[in-house]
Structure 1
Amino acid sequence: MTAMAPHRTEPDLSFLLDHTGHVLRSKMAAALAEIGLTARMHCVLVHALEEERTQIQLAEIGDMDKTTMVVTVDALEKAGLAERRPSSTDRRARIIAVTEKGAEVAGRSQEIVDRVHADAVGSLPPDERAVLLSALNRLVSGHLAVPVESPQPVRRARQREK
């Protein structure tokens, strides 16, 4: 006798969120590549422009490990978009300062990011867009706001940009 798969009683929310997230990230990567950036480079530029931040703070915002952050900042420096400088408030700390060219590129990359997001939700009727965004915001700030500890580590999703 062949075993039967259990009957699913709920939609596969994990698949739906993972798949849409993956496709959205791939579209974002392709769009940002047109101006020579990665999503991580965009994230560092935008958040470094908001206020003086250290490499460690920017790594936390972008959910990057130390090595990935160093590689990202190295690429930004090589492209003339950012540089490491001493902090104005703590001489022991180094901040990531965005150059004038970097600020211009960040403006263009933010337009690209906004366009990719608008295209994604724009594929839905307006009433469904509002409901989807409202529901996702409620999940992110409520029931699904904090991951649970697990004996098997789960790769952490990028944190919501503030």
Structure 2
Amino acid sequence: MTSLAPRRNEPDLSYLLDHTSHVLRTRMAAALAEIGLTARMHCVLVHALEEERTQARLAELGDMDKTTMVVTVDALEKAGLAERRPSAKDRRARIIAVTAEGARLAEQSQRIVDQVHRSTLASLSAGDGSALLGALKSLATGHLATPVEDAPARRARQS
């Protein structure tokens, strides 16, 4: 029987990027789970520590929809890691403030995230690791910097 499938002439770049990204996310999730955090919780803590930010801004930075952001902040509040407070800059706005325990855990989670990234790159030769990072940075800031508007695809996390 002859296959009717079209012949592939190029490597499946979408599969390679999706698969490796998925596996990296699962490894990150497992590593962060050891200290009771999710990647989203880590993201909120770290970005909230950088400067005073509203929940909406943190959701944008972490590419979370409003519902996911509310659930994430609720979990952080329940764990005593963050709290919603009025902004010192705009009393109408509410910010996410990280508690002392949240800051301690964010420091620990950042070390975990860095280690997962280091071990991933260490699985490649030094030259390949540098080349991969360079190529991905070039794509992320160049040809693939802006998604096609109104395309039926899930958005990637924004930096």
Q: State the alpha-carbon separation in 2 of the partners of residues 90 and 4 from structure 1.
A: 62
CA displacement, residues 88-115 of structure 1 (integer Å, 9 cap, x when unaligned): 0100100000000000000000000000
Q: Percent identity?
A: 73
Is 2:127 the counterpart of 1:158?
Answer: no
Q: State the alpha-carbon separation in 2 of the partners of residues 40 and 130 from structure 1.
A: 27
Corresponding letter in the other structure for 1:130: S
Once the two structures are TM-superposed, the CA of residue 3 in structure 1 deviates from its matched residue by: 4.4
Once the two structures are TM-superposed, the CA of residue 7 in structure 1 deviates from its matched residue by: 1.6
**After the TM superposition, which parts of structure 1 deviate over 6 Å for at least 4 consecutive aligned residues?**
none
Structure 1 gap ranges (5+): none
Q: What is the Cα-based RMSD across aligned positions, in Å?
A: 1.0
Which secondary structure state, in structure 2, belongs to the residue aligned with residue 91 of structure 1? coil
**Where do 1:60-75 residues align within 5 Å?**
60-75=60-75
Once the two structures are TM-superposed, the CA of residue 153 in structure 1 deviates from its matched residue by: 1.7
Q: State the alpha-carbon separation in 1 of the partners of residues 22 and 76 from structure 2.
A: 25
Which secondary structure state, in structure 2, belongs to the residue aligned with residue 146 of structure 1? coil
Q: State the alpha-carbon separation in 2 of the partners of residues 6 and 92 from structure 1.
A: 58
Is 2:127 the counterpart of 1:127?
Answer: yes
Is 2:156 the counterpart of 1:146?
Answer: no
2:19 is matched with 19
CA displacement, residues 31-73 of structure 1 (integer Å, 9 cap, x when unaligned): 0000000000000000000000000000000011111101100
1:96 is matched with 96
Q: State the alpha-carbon separation in 2 of the partners of residues 118 and 76 from structure 1.
A: 27
Once the two structures are TM-superposed, the CA of residue 2 in structure 1 deviates from its matched residue by: 3.9
Q: How many residues align?
A: 159
Structure 2 gap ranges (5+): none
Q: State the alpha-carbon separation in 2 of the partners of residues 80 and 88 from structure 1.
A: 21
TM-score calculated relative to the size of structure 1:
0.95
CA displacement, residues 4-28 of structure 1 (integer Å, 9 cap, x when unaligned): 3222111100000000000000000
Is 2:141 the counterpart of 1:113?
Answer: no
